[in-house]
Amino acid sequence: MKTILTGIKPTGKLTLGNYIGVLKRLKDFQNQGECYIFIADLHALTLPIEPSELNENSIDIACFYLAAGLDPNKITLFLQSSVSAHAEMAIILQNYLYMGELSRMTQFKDKSSKMNKNSIGLGLFAYPVLMAGDILLYDADEVPVGEDQIQHVELTRDLVKRINNRYGDVFKMPSAKFNKVGARIMSLSDPSKKMSKSDPKGDIFLKDDVKTIRKKIMSAVTDSGCEIKYDEENKPGISNLLTIYACMKNISIEEAEKVFNGYRYGDFKKCVADAVIEEIEPFQQRYIEIKENKLYEDVLRQGALKANKKSQEVLNRIKEKIGLLKA
């Protein structure tokens, strides 16, 4: 049976991009293999964050995972920080990843370019080291992520080759699993940019009320043409809305284009808003129920027990291979 692992970092309010890129797909993954799903709270510390915000976001992500249909009897859901093997693994792996390759990571370049050079944390630079450890600790075969995280999974693959070459078969080779459609949902106000929770202009938040969602979609930036056609280069706004619609309806882009043949932009946007609301409204109701009844608490506790057990096995394996003595 294959093992599937993914995480989301609790850095802000989740967006429709997070939903389409990862959350929505997890329900199917849980029937395809053993799933380890976590809240990457240690990763959230790589940029300054208020303690209360980190707390609140972490609870929200746990509730959103469950609202997306994850069944705690089928999967292991946990907080990264409640499994100390993640920190220990990162300390070991940091010696096998090089500063040159880490400095070429797009996420690091993007985030650090917006900061004062003297206050870029070591953790931000070493982000992919911690992430590689997350993946390797559970012998993951598949890692469902959005497009921006593929580079980190590729780096993990390079690391596996490096370590296995030197010490024999220690780690399983993981691969990134991303959507053909919807791996990169773009901002509604600037469709040349990714919809991202740390850059909230142009986002649809999963907690937005229905009226706000409709308003944001109706005022999404498009172009001066009149054809509803997928063309990322010349019609990025329309292409993004077509992608959102196709993902909501589980159809291909070609099918979505056919639906809207001859439509005016305004009518098209209304249909996109209807499709998003139809799916997100019941999802939001499940989220509220889970949060109010604190249904996540027991799930996280049980999840930590299971994740600790599995990750210790793998941690012991690498420790032994590299020559750390067991007392």
Select the binding partner of residue 142 from ligand LTN, ligand ATP, none (C-beta < 5 to 8 A, by kind).
Answer: none
Binding segment for ligand ATP (CB under 6 A), chosen from 15-23, 163-171, 207-215, 229-237, is 15-23
78, two tokens: 């946990």
Q: Is 274 in the site for ligand ATP (CB under 6 A)?
A: no
204, 217 Cβ separation under 8 angstroms? yes
Select the binding partner of residue 222 from ligand ATP, ligand LTN, none (C-beta < 5 to 8 A, by kind).
Answer: none
- Which is nearer to ligand ATP, 89 or 145 (by Cβ)? 145
Select the binding partner of residue 194 from ligand ATP, ligand LTN, none (C-beta < 5 to 8 A, by kind).
Answer: ligand ATP
Q: Is 133 in the site for ligand ATP (CB under 6 A)?
A: no
Residue 10 beta carbon to ligand ATP: minimum distance, rounded to whole angstroms = 8
**Cα distances (Å, whole numbers) of residue 240 to 51, 149, 192, 275:** 34, 19, 10, 14
Residue 11 beta carbon to ligand LTN: minimum distance, rounded to whole angstroms = 8
Check if 74 is active-site: no
| Candidates 13, 27, 111, 319; catalytic one | 111
Q: Is 220 in the site for ligand ATP (CB under 6 A)?
A: no
75, 35 Cβ separation under 8 angstroms? yes
Residue 167 beta carbon to ligand ATP: minimum distance, rounded to whole angstroms = 29
How many of the chain's residues bind ligand ATP (CB under 6 A)? 22
Q: Is 184 in the site for ligand ATP (CB under 6 A)?
A: yes
Check if 215 is active-site: no
- Which is nearer to ligand LTN, 138 or 260 (by Cβ)? 138
d(CA 94, CA 202): 36
Residues that bind ligand LTN in the complex, under the rule CB under 6 A: 5-9, 40, 43, 131, 134-135, 143, 145, 149
Catalytic sites, residue numbers: 111, 194, 197
